[in-house]
Chain A
Amino acid sequence: MSTWDWQVFCKDTIDGEIVPRCFGSAGDITYLDWLLSAWGWTLSVSLLALLVALLLGSIMGILRTAPHRGWVLLGNAWTELFRNIPLLVQIFLWYHVVPALIPPLRGVPSFLLVVLGLGLFTSARISEQVRAGIQSLTGGQRMAGLAMGFTLPQTYRYVLLPMAFRIVIPPLTSESMNIVKNSAVAFAVSISELTLFALQAQEETARGIEIYLAVTGLYFVSAFALNRVFHFVEQRVRVPGMIGGGT
């Protein structure tokens, strides 16, 4: 293990021969091909789960600030349920338990189950941030909206949410980076993403350090790219003169 061997990525995954130009052809794949497809799976799981989490997390966060006790209870129960069970256990529940208890879900591909699992887990955290964002606005904003004759949904849509979402962009940024990191648990239900690649390729090639370095680097790049996207959005939507809005 004393020297580097980066050529491991150019090896064919079947016979271990080094392929010129590193990319396999005619159905044969190299470890580099496999690594890139694993990265694709990691990105797909993360981005779809982020979509689910943003949607459900926002809804639940809004419900928790609504002036109806039942909605608040629903939002709170949702958040506590998905926050207090380890992510890996939740993934196993989606993969092993949910299809067994709900027969129509039996044919659903495990990729979608993982997206749901990771999405709902993260939605609990996002609901917490959206709630905090809405509650950080002064109570007068809500009253002003209602006093202007807006209905409750209109007050949320035109008065509260535009400011609340701007306020919670920074915590949402770190949640989106967390989702990339947390997508690593998908290996446990055989999604062919980066961590599963790392485990299997390490075993096959015995070049663990090179493999792990590449995988860790790709996780880092993915999370950082999301960070930049959110930063760009934050810059675009800022309101001059508001907190964090610059001048």
Chain B
Amino acid sequence: MLTLDFAFLTPQVLSSYVLKGFVFSLQLTAIAMLGGIALGTVLALMRLSSKPWLTLPAAAYVNTMRSIPLVMVILWFFLLIPLAIGRPLGAEMSAIITFTLFEAAYYSEIMRAGIQSIPRGQVAAGYALGMRYGQTMGLVVLPQAFRNMLPVLLTQTIILFQDTSLVYAIGAYDLLKGFEIAGKNFNRPVETYLVAAVLYFVISFSLSMLVRRLQQRIAIIR
């Protein structure tokens, strides 16, 4: 029976091995969330337009991204980006681009559902007031869609945070990697994987509790 010993995980060890990875995981989550929601909203608007030359590419993009394992998408971008720009790109930068583009597909499905949940009359009212398409969407439809979908968007972000651990495939230095390297250097892999799991759990669980409370508050006001 192996005895667990967490004594080696001093604040110094944590800050020199884990902190850098933690910061990267949070950065990756934040950038992919903001970029993904922005791009996803554009994709959703394209899919809901009446012009086939906008609908078809957006649908193809979203469906392709959603039917490939994320690990393979990470590997694809890591292979293709250097070919496209003609020079190698670091694993971290490659991960940021990949996650933004990948999550955009998932966020776009959420935004599409959000936009479709707004009654048609709202759009008609916007046009009747003399607003143009951009104004109707930007001032009337999107703010409401965004608000209705906020809990779902945040839940997707929690999934995104968990999925950032998959940058393992291209060796980027994230939270999990930090723990793994600490575990290798101190020959205590069992303890470091356990602590990593607890940390991921605490963060994801408390965030999902917050989302649940937010959902209740929004539901009451609506």
Instruction: Please judge, given known A-B contacts A184-B72, A208-B79, whether A89 and B205 are in contact too, CB under 8 Å.
Output: no
Are A103 and B1 in contact (CB-based, < 8 A)?
Answer: yes
Contact B201 A81 (CB under 8 A): yes
- Residue B55 is within 8 A (CB to CB) of chain A in the complex: no
- How many pairs of residues, A versus B, come closer than 8 Å at their CB atoms? 97
Number of residues in A with C-beta < 8 Å to the partner?
39
Q: Would you call A187 an interface residue if the criterion is a C-beta within 8 Å of the partner chain's C-beta atoms?
A: yes
Bound form: Cα–Cα A100–B188 in Å = 11
- The reply to whether B68 and A198 contact each other, CB–CB distance below 8 Å, is no
Query: Contacting A97 at CB < 8 Å: which of B79, B83, B176, B190?
Result: B190
Question: Of B75, B165, B196, B201, which one neighbours A195 at CB under 8 angstroms?
Answer: B75
Q: Does A97 lie within 8 Å of B194, measured CB to CB?
A: yes
CB distance from A243 to the nearest CB of B (A): 20
Q: Please, which residues of chain A bring their CB within 8 A of the CB of B189? A: 96
163-186 of chain A: CB within 8 A of chain B: 177, 180-185
Select A86's contact among B67, B80, B163, beta carbons within 8 Å. Answer: B163
A6: chain B residues within 8 A (beta carbon): none
Q: Which of B161-185 contact A (CB under 8 A)?
A: 162-163, 165-166, 168-169, 176
Stretch from A14-22, A29-37, A215-223 contacting the other chain: A215-223
Closest residue to A185 on the B side, CB-wise? B71
Q: Determine if A184 and B69 form an interchain contact, defined as CB atoms under 8 angstroms apart.
A: yes
Report if A212-B2 is in contact (Cβ < 8 Å); known contacts: A89-B196, A97-B190, A184-B69.
Answer: no
| Distance between A105 CB and nearest chain B CB, rounded to angstroms | 12
A87 within 8 A of B: yes
How far apart are A92's CB and chain B's nearest CB, in angstroms? 5
A85–B193 contact, CB under 8 A?
no
Contact B166 A88 (CB under 8 A): yes
Q: Is B149 an interface residue (CB 8 A)?
A: no
Chain B residue numbers with a CB within 8 Å of A209 are: 79-80
Q: Are the C-beta atoms of B165 and A86 separated by less than 8 Å?
A: yes
Q: Is A90 an interface residue (CB 8 A)?
A: yes
